[in-house]
Structure 1
Amino acid sequence: MNFSIIRYILFMLVEFMAALLAVPTLVCLIYGEWKDAIIFASIALICLASGFFFGYLKKPENRTFYAREGFVTTALAWIILSLIGAVPFTVTGTIPNYLDAVFETVSGFTTTGATILTEIDGLTEFHRGVQFWRCFTHWVGGMGILVFMLAILPMAGGYSMHLMKAESPGPSVGKYAPRVKDTAKILYSIYIAITLTEMVCLKITGLSVYESMTLTFSTVGTGGFGLLGTSILEYSYATQVVITIFMALCGVNFSVYYFLLTRKFKEAWHIDEMRWYFIIMFASSILIALNVVQNGVIASFGEAFHHSMFTVASIMTTTGFATLDFNVWPQFSRTLIFLLTCIGACAGSTGGGFKFSRIIILIRNAKNEVIKTLHPKSVQKVYMDDHVVEDTTVKGTNAYLAIYTITFLTSFLLVAFFESFNVIDFEVFDFETNITAVAATLNNVGPGLNMVGPTGGFHDFSWASKVVLIFDMLAGRLELMPVLILFYRKTWHK
């Protein structure tokens, strides 16, 4: 283990954090929030000094960097930056409890959107800079903190791809350009273009510049932090339609946009994951709309489809916005929403969840196993995007399913145990609350059902459960392995 290169990269990230904190500092100055501006600026200066003295001035002589260092660096980077990012919430007094502040920050960077706040409207009114920072964490975490750094900072050596692989969602990650730095630039160029486009569209619907920026950060990052306690309910239908469209677009593998920009239309169309992503999205929206109309929850099919499409896009892309409280929808609709929570978005997108690509690989591999049972001598291959999927990828997907299942069940058991001693106002944390809380955090969705539904939150969970859910958010965003490797004893051997 090359500890010196890990230390160097981590302190470079701490120094980079100073630049990120400068953005909300500027927002505080614009709105005359001088106290909050001083707090953000002070934390930024501390980060800048720490990164300079412990990183820049102490460059490592040995730059050997393998996959192990990449996974450890990625996991520690997200943990350290989340711990730093939580400080402004506590010092400004908006979230006095530091553990709650860490929960909110991890939820922001991992684009989960689960919140412990009960007075979101007051935060928007009196602490605009803090609210901006809260939504801005979604945008930074959406494409990835390390990918962002790779795009703009000179990172010499052959270790960049290990960082990108450890942070990028999905079963595999590829390069669009010969150099990883150029690949990162391409990804962020697409990301920024989508961001600016949505900002303009939201401004056209009548929102202020501040509202357009913050809601865009939460949408493009597929995070879900809103400016109001009612999420997107109070905004116009036009605003809701714009957000629906961009949520759906940001759940697509970004390689599709790269192929479209480079006029490789055939390659873009032949991405199986994208086709099934939209088929499931529209089919689920129609089924839910029919179900809520049939049960008299919403009168007209048109209005029902509008809200069901928004909800399905929000859940599938793991954004977590809501226009209605789907907690009161019929059982079939709630069950379908829970299943979509676990599936998630496409690989290589800003969305979380298990990913469509893995689902496709597992189903096609299962089909091959059935065929081989009938015809033992036959040779079966898993195909995806008109290409053979390598056996290592298939095995990795099977292993990921096993680890995902074990992590999910263990987290659920721990939360159920901890909350069995926790009774809030004579209301217990029931099965539905606990299991959907774990699903919502591990899949980086945000809202679950019952007490953690769109009108609820995670503020009443015990501190022990919050630690488990923080772990789930980090593990889900980093695809499990980087976080779990930290607990493997042999990882730390030299």
Structure 2
Amino acid sequence: MNYSMIRYMLGLVSCFSAMFMTLPMLVSVIYKEKSGFSFLAVALFSLAVGILTARKKPQNRKMYAREGLVIVALSWIVLSIYGALPFALSGDIPSYVDALFETISGFTTTGASILTDVEALSNTCLFWRSFTHWIGGMGVLVFIMALMPAKDSSSMHIMRAESPGPSVSKLVPQVRNTAMILYLIYFGMTLVEITLLLIGGMPLFDAVTVAFGTAGTGGFAVKNSSIAGYSVFLQGVVAVFMVMFGVNFNVYFVLLRKKPRQAFRSVEFLTYIGIVLGSSLLIAISILPMFPNAFTAFHQAFFQVGSIMTTTGYATADFNTWPALARTILVMLMFVGACAGSTGGGIKVSRVILLLKGIKKELQMVCHPRSVKKVKVDGHVVEHEVIRSVNAFMVLYVVIFVVSLLIVSLDEKDLVTNFTAVAATLNNIGPGLEIVGPTGNFSSFSILSKFVLMFDMLAGRLELFPIMMLFVPATWKRV
């Protein structure tokens, strides 16, 4: 284990944490709010820690897979610890445990909240709350790599650990350039959404914070009614962009290279769009009697499907009151999630495709035991290591889900609440059903349950393995 490199990278994360807090400080100046002093104090503290930790560059800067996993896991934990401090110091969220829950929910783009009155927060804290989504959407370490040079052989391990999906490849030969391309696409799409929301009449502060939540597929809103209080046009813009941010960013890179046929022929992309449209149609038919016309029913269904499948968590209706079929489809979509290489969470469409193709292969092998079958996606043979990784992911996913559900059940809440609370946090969605539905929150859970759900949020965002590596003794042995 290269401890000096871990120390150095955590120092950089502390410095960048201070840099991120300059924006909410600017917001506090604009709105003349005292909560900005809390961000200033934390920024100075994290900057001092970062400079002390990173001032000595390690002689050995080589990183392997385990260093990459550990650095990513610890970085997100450190970033969350710093990010929660301003909430607690400002008094907007007096309990540090609740502030940590809200912050982890923000950085992991989960959107699960302990707040009963969102509008009671200062504009400064509301901005920071949404900005954590935007930071966490693409990944803070991907951002650092975009700005600072690093050896490709080492930094690729960090990108693989932080980027969602069963496999990560470089868009261009240099990892730093890949990170820059990803963030330029991310930033450009965010600006386009802000512009369209402003054209639709949304106030600037709302447009920026809503766009941050959409881009990161997080779902923190600045209104108690989430997105329900805005016009149909604005809801439509948010819905379309939620679906767009759930697409693998490689698709947009290929589009920029003017190869639309190659971009839209991806099996994952076609499956993703098919699930979104098919689910929206089925739910619209199910809820049609609850709305005045078919357009409104489909609009509501499409928004909620886009929000749940991309794991954003915004809401325009209380789907807790919808028919059983509609709610069942939404719960199933919680597990499917968005595409690999997007800002969305969940198991990922690509993993579902690989699992189904793997099952098909095994069934064919039973009928033809001497035949040689290969799993292919988009005409390419999938390496056995990828299949093995997907299978291991699913086993670990089930284990974490079951253990989390058992511990959370100690709070004596109903099964639907417990089940969907774990599903919503492990899949980075936000709202569940019953007590944690779109009109509810997570404030009534015990401290133990909140820590379990915080662990689930981090594990889900980091694809399980980086967090779990922290508990493996062999990880910490020097080589």
Q: Residue 162 in 1 paired to residue 148 in 2?
A: no
Q: Residue 143 in 1 paired to residue 138 in 2?
A: yes
Gaps of 5+ in 1: 421-428
Instruction: Please show how residues 96-107 of structure 1 align to structure 2 within 5 Å.
Output: 96-107=94-105
What's the offset of the Cα at 1:122?
1.7
C-alpha deviations, 1:437-482, integer Å up to 9, x for none?
A: 0000000000000000000000000000000000000000000000
Counterpart residue number, 1:84? 82
Counterpart residue number, 2:219? 224
C-alpha deviations, 1:423-443, integer Å up to 9, x for none?
A: xxxxxx100000000000000
Counterpart residue number, 1:15? 15
What's the offset of the Cα at 1:298?
2.0
Secondary structure at the residue paired with 1:107? helix
| One-letter identity of the residue aligned with 2:47 | L
- Whether the 8 Å contact between 2:334 and 2:429 is mirrored in structure 1 is yes
Distance in structure 2 (CA, Å) of the matches to 1:199 and 1:398: 39
Give 1:308's match in structure 2, choosing from 291, 301, 308: 301
Counterpart residue number, 1:442? 426
Aligned length: 478
| One-letter identity of the residue aligned with 1:167 | E
Instruction: Please show how residues 70-469 of structure 1 align to structure 2 within 5 Å.
Output: 70-123=68-121, 127-156=122-151, 158-293=153-288, 296-417=289-410, 419-420=411-412, 429-469=413-453
Counterpart residue number, 1:426? none
Give 1:67's match in structure 2, choosing from 50, 61, 65: 65
Q: CA RMSD in A?
A: 0.9
Distance in structure 2 (CA, Å) of the matches to 1:453 and 1:273: 29
Secondary structure at the residue paired with 2:21? helix
Counterpart residue number, 1:41? 40
Distance in structure 2 (CA, Å) of the matches to 1:83 and 1:248: 31
Counterpart residue number, 1:424? none
Secondary structure at the residue paired with 1:86? helix
C-alpha deviations, 1:314-354, integer Å up to 9, x for none?
A: 00000000000000000111111000001000000000000
Distance in structure 2 (CA, Å) of the matches to 1:436 and 1:72: 29
Secondary structure at the residue paired with 1:136? helix
C-alpha deviations, 1:127-178, integer Å up to 9, x for none?
A: 1111000000000000011001111123357411111011000000000111
- Whether the 8 Å contact between 2:152 and 2:175 is mirrored in structure 1 is no
What's the offset of the Cα at 1:489?
1.1
What's the offset of the Cα at 1:357?
0.2
- Whether the 8 Å contact between 1:270 and 1:386 is mirrored in structure 2 is no
Secondary structure at the residue paired with 1:159? helix
Distance in structure 2 (CA, Å) of the matches to 1:93 and 1:409: 35
| One-letter identity of the residue aligned with 2:222 | L
| One-letter identity of the residue aligned with 2:104 | V
- Identify which range, 157-166 or 63-72, moves more after superposition: 157-166
What's the offset of the Cα at 1:263?
1.4
Gaps of 5+ in 2: none
Distance in structure 1 (CA, Å) of the matches to 2:434 and 2:148: 44
- Whether the 8 Å contact between 2:10 and 2:53 is mirrored in structure 1 is no
- Whether the 8 Å contact between 2:152 and 2:174 is mirrored in structure 1 is no
Q: How high is the sequence identity, in percent, across the aligned residues? A: 51
Secondary structure at the residue paired with 2:290? coil
Q: Residue 480 in 1 paired to residue 479 in 2?
A: no
- Whether the 8 Å contact between 1:222 and 1:319 is mirrored in structure 2 is yes
| One-letter identity of the residue aligned with 2:388 | K
What's the offset of the Cα at 1:299?
3.3
Distance in structure 2 (CA, Å) of the matches to 1:139 and 1:485: 26
- Whether the 8 Å contact between 1:111 and 1:223 is mirrored in structure 2 is yes
What's the offset of the Cα at 1:400?
0.8
Q: Residue 50 in 1 paired to residue 49 in 2?
A: yes
C-alpha deviations, 1:371-417, integer Å up to 9, x for none?
A: 11011111111111121111111111111111111111111111112
Instruction: Please show how residues 19-30 of structure 1 align to structure 2 within 5 Å.
Output: 19-30=19-30
What's the offset of the Cα at 1:269?
2.1
- Whether the 8 Å contact between 1:63 and 1:157 is mirrored in structure 2 is no
What's the offset of the Cα at 1:65?
1.2
Distance in structure 2 (CA, Å) of the matches to 1:409 and 1:299: 41
What's the offset of the Cα at 1:45?
1.4
Q: Residue 471 in 1 paired to residue 455 in 2?
A: yes
Distance in structure 1 (CA, Å) of the matches to 2:38 and 2:407: 36
What's the offset of the Cα at 1:264?
2.2
| One-letter identity of the residue aligned with 2:45 | I
Distance in structure 2 (CA, Å) of the matches to 1:490 and 1:254: 34
Distance in structure 1 (CA, Å) of the matches to 2:4 and 2:404: 33
What's the offset of the Cα at 1:266?
3.1
